[in-house]
Structure 1
Amino acid sequence: MSKLLLKAMQGPGHVVHVTPETAGWSYVGFDLHKLDAGQSVCGKTEDKEVCLVFVTGKGKVTANGEDLGLLGSRMSPFEGKPWSVYLPQGSDWWVSAETDLELAVCSAPGLGGGLPVRIISPEGLSQETRGKGTNTRYVTNILPENEPADSLLVVEVITPGGHTSSYPPHKHDQDNLPAESYLEETYYHRFNPRQGFGFQRVYTDDRSLDEAMAIEDGDVVMVPKGYHPCAACHGYDLYYLNVMAGPKRTWKFHNAVEHEWLMM
């Protein structure tokens, strides 16, 4: 199995754990907690900033001693927009599940920005449609670069069955602004129905990295560099949650030259 593909452990519990140390990179962290109703989880951001994403379910949230109330609304990542919470470095947080809950903890270095804790509600999220034909997919921007944060970029995407996504292939592995930014990235994949599967390829121009992976419900793919297109098989819609971070908080990508004609 590819070293870039992580299979989630069976829940409930702390089912995914990615740190810069385990991934062999410098910026992105990703954790996933699956809680049964009545269970709770807590954490400290320390020198990182964090975005809590309610992938599914509802929970009561406390941050730095402040009660943020009951958050979350959808029971499937394929239904509506998520609730999220932004936490700056030096924060502590606690979430108690009111229903079965799937909580993503997206993290990256804090830069001392002094930003406040804030709730990111579904009503405030922008959505866009990208691509055309069987390359159409639907994007929800949770923490885009035009919203305040130090390092994190967070987005979720729905790709209908039979469609491609992150395609034509693009990359963002060079700190070469304004042409391209360096961003590490994780993909957390879900399928509807859950027995579905798809494929993701991570590769570089010189093919020194070239991994093709079958992805299933709950899998995480790490993208340290290179192009990273994915495809959802017919009959199974694909959801993924992306976390990106790098030395500069901007998403500037380079398309694979041989496939750019697909943009026309």
Structure 2
Amino acid sequence: MTTSPYGPHHLPADKAPGGPYAVDVTPERAGWGHSALRVLELPPGGSHTFDTGESEWIVLPLGGACTVAAADDFGHDTFALHGRPDVFSAVTDFAYVPRDARTTVTSTGGGRFALTGARCERRLPARYGPASSVPVELRGSGTCSRQVNNFGAAGVFECDRLIAVEVLTPGGNWSSFPPHKHDEHRPGEESVLEEIYYFEFAAHDGTPGLGYQRVSPSGRGRGTDVLAEVRDGDVVLIPDGWHGPSMAVPGHHMYYLNVMAGPGAERAWLICDHPDHAWIRGTWPEQPVDPRLPLYSAPERSR
């Protein structure tokens, strides 16, 4: 078992930076083929330009507002993102930028912005995703209750390979439970997806939060085995294995951003529950959803 600190699959916040990014997880750094995550911190009036290369990206405000401009041989698009104060207060709007484009993120007031990416083949058009279009799902019940903001889920927003969602877990609850995996190709049942978890926690009276992440070997791939204490800005890489639970300590809500992509022709999140724990899903109808959820809902669509 790999325990923190720090094993190759747990990147604490101070171990994850690269270049201009507070977090920089490339396929090369992760040792896989597709999924990527960057976290960009901009001061008031700050701006950053990057080439999307062979990857598609979603620019997602974690805190603050920004303008996203994407230019390529097909034209130029600019999107004003209203953003949000922080991940625990609101659903955010976002922007999709295609591969082979030069992209600039500018923030008048400053902020933190996640760039969720995946290597891809198709070039799709740049697009704006309004907060009102994000499905907010309440998953599980009892102490397994959590909120999922499905902004970049398969079947919700079109990408070539990228799948990305946000999960909010009230303090004391367990997410990613029952443990599940997606590390083998079984048509209609399971898809191969590399996954990144990026964490933030709600503080209490100035005290930072924390949580725990478990990944156990599934008998396939690298035999990934992690038990990590995770804090603000930490990243856990999951190339294979049963992942879960993700545990929020009492008193501190937990947020994680999931970024997934894989080699399959079908962009789909198909998972297999751990056989020892799959039964827990059958208990959910007997229990109420945690009354603290939803922490917030998506705004209504303008008419």
Normalised-by-shorter TM-score class: over 0.9
Query: Where does residue 245 of structure 1 map in the other structure?
Result: 261
Where in structure 1 are there 5+ consecutive unaligned residues?
none
Q: Does 1:198 align with 2:203?
A: no
Query: Where does residue 40 of structure 2 map in the other structure?
Result: 33
- State how far apart, in whole Å, the 2-side matches of 1:101 and 1:140 are: 20
Q: 1:214 offset after TM fit, Å?
A: 0.2
> Which whole-Å deviations, capped at 9, do the CAs of 1:166-224 have from their partners, x for residues lacking one?
11100101122211100000011000016110000111134943210000011111111
TM-score when normalising by structure 2: 0.83
Query: Where does residue 248 of structure 2 map in the other structure?
Result: 232
- State how far apart, in whole Å, the 2-side matches of 1:128 and 1:60 are: 28
Aligned residue runs from structure 1 range 101-140, under 5 A: 101-112=111-122, 114-140=123-149
Q: Does 1:173 align with 2:189?
A: no
Query: Where does residue 216 of structure 1 map in the other structure?
Result: 231
- State how far apart, in whole Å, the 2-side matches of 1:82 and 1:244 are: 19
Query: Where does residue 280 of structure 2 map in the other structure?
Result: 262
Q: What secondary structure is seen at the aligned counterpart in 2 of 1:258?
A: coil
2:136·2:148 contact (CA, 8 Å) conserved in 1?
yes
- State how far apart, in whole Å, the 2-side matches of 1:28 and 1:67 are: 24
Structure having the higher strand fraction is: 1
Query: Where does residue 295 of structure 2 map in the other structure?
Result: none
Q: 1:34 offset after TM fit, Å?
A: 1.1
- State how far apart, in whole Å, the 1-side matches of 2:179 and 2:89 are: 27
**Range moving further from structure 2, 223-232 or 1-10:** 1-10
Q: What secondary structure is seen at the aligned counterpart in 2 of 1:62?
A: strand
1:160 to 166, 170, 179: 170
1:88·1:110 contact (CA, 8 Å) conserved in 2?
no
Q: What secondary structure is seen at the aligned counterpart in 2 of 1:58?
A: strand
Residues 122 and 8 of structure 1, relative CA distance in 2, 3 Å threshold? same
- State how far apart, in whole Å, the 2-side matches of 1:247 and 1:60 are: 31
Q: 1:13 offset after TM fit, Å?
A: 4.5
2:219·2:241 contact (CA, 8 Å) conserved in 1?
no
Q: 1:38 offset after TM fit, Å?
A: 1.2
Q: What secondary structure is seen at the aligned counterpart in 1 of 2:80?
A: strand
Q: What secondary structure is seen at the aligned counterpart in 1 of 2:143?
A: helix
Query: Where does residue 300 of structure 2 map in the other structure?
Result: none
Q: What secondary structure is seen at the aligned counterpart in 1 of 2:95?
A: strand
Query: Where does residue 11 of structure 2 map in the other structure?
Result: 6
- State how far apart, in whole Å, the 2-side matches of 1:33 and 1:195 are: 21
Where in structure 2 are there 5+ consecutive unaligned residues?
1-5, 283-303
- State how far apart, in whole Å, the 2-side matches of 1:246 and 1:252 are: 12
Q: Which amino acid in 2 is paired with 1:241?
A: L
> Which whole-Å deviations, capped at 9, do the CAs of 1:136-165 have from their partners, x for residues lacking one?
000011111112111000100100000000
- State how far apart, in whole Å, the 1-side matches of 2:181 and 2:219 are: 13
Bigger radius of gyration among the two: 2
Q: Does 1:142 align with 2:154?
A: no
1:56·1:72 contact (CA, 8 Å) conserved in 2?
no
Q: What secondary structure is seen at the aligned counterpart in 1 of 2:13?
A: coil
Q: What secondary structure is seen at the aligned counterpart in 2 of 1:79?
A: coil
> Which whole-Å deviations, capped at 9, do the CAs of 1:83-139 have from their partners, x for residues lacking one?
211111111110111223111111112212x42100111011111100000100000
Q: What secondary structure is seen at the aligned counterpart in 1 of 2:83?
A: coil
**Range moving further from structure 2, 86-95 or 203-212:** 203-212
The count of corresponding residues between Structure 1 and Structure 2 is 263
